[in-house]
Chains A and B, each alone.
Chain A
Amino acid sequence: MRHFLVMMLFAALASVVFGAVAKDTTSERWQYGLKVFAEFMIIGLVLGWILYFIP
C-alpha cells in the first residue's frame, strides 16, 4: 500500500509541475495535468503487473 501511495504522490507532483509549465490557459492546464496523472498511474500499474509475473 505504501508503494502505491508513493507512486500516487510522485504522479501528483509531476502532473502539477508539467501542467503548470506546459500549457497556456487554466482549463488546458487542468486537462493536461489530469492526463499526465492518469498516464503515470496507469503505466505504473501495468508495469507493476507485468513485473509481478516475471520471476
Chain B
Amino acid sequence: MIKSEKISMSAVEHPPTSAWLIAIAAWFVPGLGHLLLKRFGRAILLGGSVWLSFVVGLAMGGHMFSLATGQGSSQLLQVPPMIANLGSGVLYLFCLLFGAGFSDDPQQAARATYEYGTTFLLIAGLFNYLTVLDAFDIAAGRKS
C-alpha cells in the first residue's frame, strides 16, 4: 500500500475532531454547521428548510413527543417520534423548556391541521439529521 492510500484511509476511518464539533453545531442549531463551513447556500437551503418546516408545523398546531407524553407501556411508543423530534436541536429543546407543542389538549388535536403539523415537526427533525450528516461529510473531507 502506498503512502497516499494510507493517509486517505486513515482520514476516512478517523474523521477530525472539528468534524464532530461541526456535526454537533449543525444538530444544535439547524444550518449552523454549514455556516461554520462557509457553505452559505447550503446553510440557507438546508437550515431554512428545517426552520420553515418546524415553524409551519408549530403554527399548524402540531404535537411533539417526549417521554412524558406517554402513559404506562405507551411511553416506549413515544421514543421513535421523540428521536425524530430531537433532530430539531435547540428548536425542540426550547419548546420542551417552555411547554410549547407538548400539551395534550383535545381542542388542539381537533384542529384540521393537527396531523399535518405533527408530521411537519417530525420531518423537520429528520431533515436536520440529513443536514448534520452532510455537514459532517463536508467537514471530514468526504464530500466537496
| A contact residues vs B (CB 8 Å cutoff) | 2, 6, 9-10, 13-14, 16-18, 20-21, 24
A13/B46 contact (C-beta < 8 A), A6-B113, A21-B130 known: no
Chain B: interface size category: 10 to 19
26 A-B pairs with C-beta separation under 8 A: A6-B113, A9-B56, A10-B119, A10-B123, A13-B49, A13-B52, A13-B53, A13-B123, A13-B127, A14-B127, A16-B45, A16-B46, A17-B46, A17-B49, A17-B127, A17-B131, A18-B130, A20-B42, A20-B45, A20-B46, A20-B134, A21-B46, A21-B130, A21-B131, A21-B133, A24-B144
Contact between chains at A16 and B144 (CB < 8 Å): no
> Is B116 part of the contact surface with A, judged by Cβ < 8 Å?
yes
- Among residues of B, the one whose C-beta sits closest to the C-beta of A13 is B49
